[in-house]
Amino acid sequence: MPDSVHTSLRAMVQTRQPKFGHYVGEFLTPGIGHMLAEANCDFVFFDMEHSGFSHETLKQAVRYFEAAGVALIVRVPSKDYAAIARACDVGAEGVMVPMVANAEEAAWFVDCMKYPPQGNRGVALSIAHDNYTSGAVPVEQRLAGANERTTSFVLIETREGAENADAIAATPGVDCIWIGHFDLSASLGVAGEFDHPEYRAAHDRIVEAAKRHNKSLGRLVANVEEGKADLRQGFDFCCYGTDTMLYQRILTQGLDTLRDIKDEA
């Protein structure tokens, strides 16, 4: 298991030491958490935006990753209160919200995640998010504990978001800035052109905003080379590959190699 077993996301965002993880959007089994732990993953990026995973599925996933000691970041499907607060209620301590365009939306996100006095999340206790804690624990202590655990990941992936990156990063309660590179490039009119000057300028603006306000910085990378480049730029959350991409890549490589051997016979 990784050295970071049971290290919370709250602790992770308080350091700029690199954290390494993996994206899960297709394959969820009871053993997935232990598989990632055996691969030395510090965290998992669990995607509800593009996967079709439900909150019922998330409720199970929380326990799979908790049992393995792999920190869980959940990308919810929208900026709606119900999507954010419900993910927290079923036990997600790290929540990522898509398409954040400005500081007002970032502040709304934090407001949905936090109980009073830090926010306006609806109170529900002795349920999944607090491990069904006994009513003997004072309510004020339970709310404060939940506020301390919940960790916010703001996804900047539009032209407007990049333009407002500094104000977003300065928003109280924002813990990590995450760059959605494909959506950002599409929003800029240069879809998939990650070396285009306009994309590079927007990307660098976001990176500098995170550094200026001492916020964690993350991105999903497709290969080791991308990850190395990000780490050199100061990214500290490196999410390596999607489950479907890695499965297909390794399967294709193996089958192609076997076919080449057959052809040589």
Instruction: Verify whether residue 55 is a known catalytic residue.
Output: no
Rg (CA), the chain: 19
**How far is 169 from 172, CA to CA, in rounded Å?**
8
Contact 165, 209 (CB under 8 A): yes
Task: Please name which of 206, 238, 207, 209 lies closest in space to residue 221, comparing C-alpha atoms.
Answer: 238
**The amino acid at 42:** D
Catalytically annotated residue among 6, 22, 34, 50 = 50
**How far is 33 from 65, CA to CA, in rounded Å?**
4
Cross-strand pairs, 96: 75, 153
Half-sphere exposure for 72 (CA within 13 Å, toward CB)? 29
Half-sphere exposure for 164 (CA within 13 Å, toward CB)? 19
Structure-token match 């899960």, residue found? 24
| Furthest-apart CA atoms within the chain: distance in Å | 73
Question: Which residues does the annotation mark as catalytic?
Answer: 50
